[in-house]
């Protein structure tokens, strides 16, 4: 499984990141696991086609003891197995890595302002 891993994060940064993900409504129902929704522009044609039957489409983000892991597999919350569950385009992978880096930077900045 391809993933983007950021480790050696401070526990306070991870706690603030979790708070921010919860505020965005990304909880999965499993502790330390969050669903990061994708915008329609980030979906592949097959995922757009299956949006009503399988969607919403998202990436899984796991909070680890000292970091975060973003799985680079687009999952369909409405169905476990389908052709629309697949890896994203290289552009979407880069966008989502940048998105996670920005959320981490926000969480770190919040710690500096306190």
Residues 6+ apart with CB under 8 A from 36: 21, 26, 58, 59, 60, 61, 70, 96, 99
What local confidence, expressed as pLDDT, does residue 114 receive? 62
Cα-based angle 43, 60, 73 (whole degrees, multiple of 5): 50
What local confidence, expressed as pLDDT, does residue 13 receive? 96
pTM: 0.92
Q: In the predicted model, what is the mean pLDDT of residues 84-96?
A: 97
Cα distance between the two ends of the chain:
37
Cα-based angle 78, 80, 81 (whole degrees, multiple of 5): 120
Instruction: Report the C-alpha gap between 98 and 114 in whole angstroms.
Output: 25
Q: Are strands 3-6 and 68-71 parallel, antiparallel or unpaired?
A: antiparallel
Which domain does 20 fall in, by range?
Answer: 3-112
**How many domains are contained in the chain?**
1
What local confidence, expressed as pLDDT, does residue 110 receive? 86
Digit-coded pLDDT (tens) for 35-77: 999 999 999 999 999 999 999 999 999 999 999 999 999 999 9
H/E stretch holding 5: strand 3-6
């Amino acid at each position: 499984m391809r993933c983007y891993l950021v480790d050696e994060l401070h526990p306070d940064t991870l706690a603030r990141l979790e708070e921010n993900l919860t505020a965005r409504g990304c909880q999965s129902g499993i502790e330390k696991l969050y669903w990061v929704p994708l915008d329609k522009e980030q979906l592949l044609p097959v995922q757009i086609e299956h949006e009503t039957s399988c969607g919403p489409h998202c990436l899984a983000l796991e909070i680890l003891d000292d970091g975060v892991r973003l799985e680079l597999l687009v999952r369909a919350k409405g169905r476990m197995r389908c052709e629309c569950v697949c890896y994203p385009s290289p552009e979407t992978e880069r966008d989502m890595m940048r998105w996670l880096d920005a959320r981490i930077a926000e969480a770190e900045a919040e710690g500096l302002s306190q």
